């Protein structure tokens, strides 16, 4: 599951990446205990998406920050 998620986070098609961004809080919640074992850094993903050139990606991540803060 996490390998597929990493794949869509890096996908070349923006609408697929947008879905990865939208689902980041859920994936973070489900896998935060296993972050180091799965070799994924959720804080890096939030930062990467927040700095995206794609306006919609930045908008989606900004709208989900309240969920991210609850998880931290």
Res 22 pLDDT > 80: yes
Judged on CB neighbours under 10 Å (0-12, 13-18, 19+), 11 is middle
Asked whether the beta carbons of 71 and 32 are under 8 A apart, the reply is: yes
Could you tell me if 25 and 65 are in contact, meaning their C-beta atoms sit under 8 angstroms apart? no
Largest CA distance in the chain: 32
The predicted structure's pLDDT at residue 58:
95
Q: What is the pLDDT of residues 52-64, one digit of tens each?
A: 999 999 999 998 8
Class of the CATH-defined domain 2-71:
mainly alpha
- Kindly indicate the confidence band of residue 72, based on its pLDDT and cuts at 50, 70 and 90: low
Mean pLDDT of 4-31: 94
Distance from C-alpha of 38 to C-alpha of 21, rounded to nearest angstrom: 18
pTM to 2 decimals?
0.84
Domain residues of the chain, as ranges?
Answer: 2-71
């Amino acid at each position: 599951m996490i390998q597929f998620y990493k794949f869509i986070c890096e996908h070349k098609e923006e609408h697929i990446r947008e879905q990865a961004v939208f689902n980041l809080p859920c994936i973070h919640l489900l896998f935060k205990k296993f972050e180091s074992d799965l070799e994924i850094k959720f804080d890096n993903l939030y930062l990467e998406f927040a700095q995206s050139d794609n306006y919609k990606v930045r908008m989606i991540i900004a709208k989900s920050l309240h969920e991210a803060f609850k998880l931290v």
